[in-house]
Amino acid sequence: MKRMKRRDFLKKTGPAVALAAVTGTTGFVFHNRESVKHRNVLAKSASFEVPSDPTLPVLTSATNTDPVAALNAALDGIGGIGRFVHPGERVVLKPNVGWDRTPAQGANTNPALVSEMVRLCLGAGATQVTVADVSCNDPRRSFLRSGIREAGETAGAQVMLPAEEDFGEVELGGTVLRNWTVLRHFVETDRFINMPVIKHHNLTLCTVGMKNLYGILGGRRNRLHQEIDQSIVDLAAFVRPTLTVVDGTRVLFRSGPQGGSLDDVSIENTVLCSTDQVAADARAVEFLGLSADRVGHIVLADRSGVGTLDYRAVGYKEIV
């Protein structure tokens, strides 16, 4: 199947028949792209944060050869799933599913983490859990080869491949990102859980939580590359996730963000959970041999009040 670049994903025009496929009552949803006018998504902000709790750390880290065990340990250390998801709520999960790569290649979020997070959210009483991303490579192939389609479906989520009509213009109010098309599922929800993977990036040195938010955007995002640090911060200031769950099980330490060679992947077996997306990124980049104060968008996010670069100062706990 011909690979589809992200910019072509939304450019495709002409007659098309919408196609949707759903497995059971949940499952994998995809459509042929139609030429339709973007409808407005009436969102002045997209803050899904929970109240702070001074008795709990802001950032936790757990290491275990079993990724599910690592996730549960890190999550329990920050208050457990019940702090973040309540009965009757809709939850959207945003893993990195950008690339037509296998789990071992480290370019996408570990599907075992996605599956477990779906299970946890449903167990906490969520009425619907949606797994979505706007892939860089062909979206069907990316969701299939990454293992995330199967992981999400099996656990009971709706795995969503967006159609053009699923995007809407949103007033982001940023310095660079003022108005942009956004996948509406990410702003029309009750809870937003960001699930990035730690990777090298050829433009930004790294991609973790804040950069992963690019995957909610439509349109020609390469237009943002000239001011990429500011655009990342604009987006992170607009989207305030309920929780950031960082996949550090396999770390793509070079040739990112797409990778390809197993020689570029280190096995770290670590999961981070945080209510501060800047703190999460600051800790995560250390797995790439970087200091957060050398990463432009992390420094800028700290200065802009999006979060705190000094993660130890806000409350950090390693769980062993």
In a domain, residue 307? The reply is yes
User: Which run of H or of E encompasses 233?
Assistant: helix 228-238
pLDDT band of residue 1 (cuts 50, 70, 90) is very low
pLDDT class of 226 with cuts at 50, 70, 90: confident
- Residue 114 maps to which CATH number? 3.40.50.11440
Q: How many degrees, rounded to 5, is the angle at CA 85 between CA 72 and CA 286?
A: 45
Residue 259 φ/ψ, nearest 5 degrees: 60, -155
Which pLDDT belongs to residue 221?
75
Grouping H, G, I as helix, E, B as strand and the rest as coil, residue 249 is: strand
**pLDDT tens-digit map of 121-162:** 999 999 999 999 999 999 999 999 999 999 999 999 999 998
**Each residue's pLDDT tens digit, 267-286:** 999 999 999 999 999 999 99
- Whether 19 shows a pLDDT value over 50: the answer reads no
On whether residue 29 sits in a domain, the answer given is yes
pLDDT one-digit tens code per residue, 75-88: 999 999 999 999 99
Enclosing domain of residue 269: 6-319
Instruction: Give the count of domains, the chain.
Output: 1
Tell me whether residue 188 is in a domain. Answer: yes
Would the pLDDT of 223 be above 90?
A: no
**Is residue 191 domain-resident?**
yes
Average pLDDT estimate for 102-131: 99
192 located within any domain: yes
In the chain, DSSP finds a helix count (H) and a strand count (E) of 10, 15
135 located within any domain: yes
Q: From residue 244, give the alpha-carbon distance in Å to each of 92, 161, 198, 202.
A: 12, 22, 12, 23
In a domain, 1, yes or no: no
> Given this model, what pLDDT does residue 39 score?
53
The DSSP output letter for 24 is T
| Per-residue model confidence as pLDDT tens digits over 20-60 | 333 333 444 433 233 334 455 445 568 999 999 999 999 99
To which residue do tokens 């192939």 refer?
141
Joined together, the tokens standing for residue 263 give 């020689």
**Residue 215 forms part of a structural domain:** yes
Cross-strand pairs, 27: 158
Cα(176)–Cα(210) distance, integer angstroms:
15
